[in-house]
Amino acid sequence: MNNNKILQVKDLHLELNNTTIINSLNIELWEGSIHAIVGPNGAGKSSLANCIMGLEKYRKASGEILFKGKDITGLSVDERARMGITMAWQEPARYEGLTVEDFVKASLKKDRDIKPVLKRMGLDPDYYLKRAVDDTLSGGERKKVELASIMAGDAELIIMDEPDSGIDIESLNRIFEAVSYLRESGRTVVFITHSSAVLKQAEHAFLMCGGKVVDKGVTKKIIPYFEGKCLPCECKNEPYIGEAENVR
């Protein structure tokens, strides 16, 4: 694993509506690696991703977030995106009137042929380029279009929130292939996931509970969580032992 740290989160603490969401959390991510963040519902996984992305209300968090050694804690989503951080959302957005071609090209700093990345995602350019990114596409199709735009762009850190949500097995395998491609091109991927199938694609994982990292290490160290063997702790959450229930 590359020892160069692309992201460092230091003593991150977030309260929303007088409730502690993230509690003095510390993580480090390495360049060119695939990481996973797992844990029960309410553990703070998605909130951590939102803090890293810089969504407005999540910028109220205290602590530091360093990207390639630079403090980005107070920067906006757009500023972080320009630096090379992006996120593939659990529910991809719909854009009425915006074609797949224009959506993917919007992520490019210079013009290039986007057909190869569409094909890599199993999207026939002749059929999809002029399609609108709206309700005429399924959630799985929009996820693949979103990932195609990430592959075509220059983002160095890609956060993927529940990549298996609402998609079929063929689409999930396409996503796994795309993630391998991203890693081979030197980019860093972070999965936010409930799925052991997704976790197994990672090299390193963090187990969160109660807004904290309660365990971390190589993936095989964290897999027992999905077998109902959670760590003893004061939280009332039970381990999530389903196997990608929302994949259909």
Using one digit for the tens of pLDDT, what is the confidence trace for 10-63? 999 999 988 999 999 999 999 999 999 998 888 999 999 999 999 988 988 999
The pLDDT value given to residue 245: 33
Band (pLDDT 50/70/90 cuts) for residue 230 is low
Place of tokens 């719909």: 94
pLDDT given at position 108: 81
- In DSSP terms, which residues pair with 189 in a beta bridge? 34, 158
Please give the model's pTM, rounded to 2 decimal places.
0.86
Question: What confidence score (pLDDT) does residue 239 get?
Answer: 42
By the 8 A CB rule, do 205 and 219 touch? yes
At residue 184, the pLDDT reads: 93
Fold of 5-227: Rossmann fold (3.40.50)
Q: Are 215 and 233 in contact (CB under 8 A)?
A: no
For 11, 43, 211, 242, the CA distances from 73, given in Å and listed in that order, are 12, 21, 18, 35
Q: pLDDT, tens digit, for every residue of 82-130? A: 999 999 887 777 788 899 999 999 878 777 889 999 999 999 999 999 9
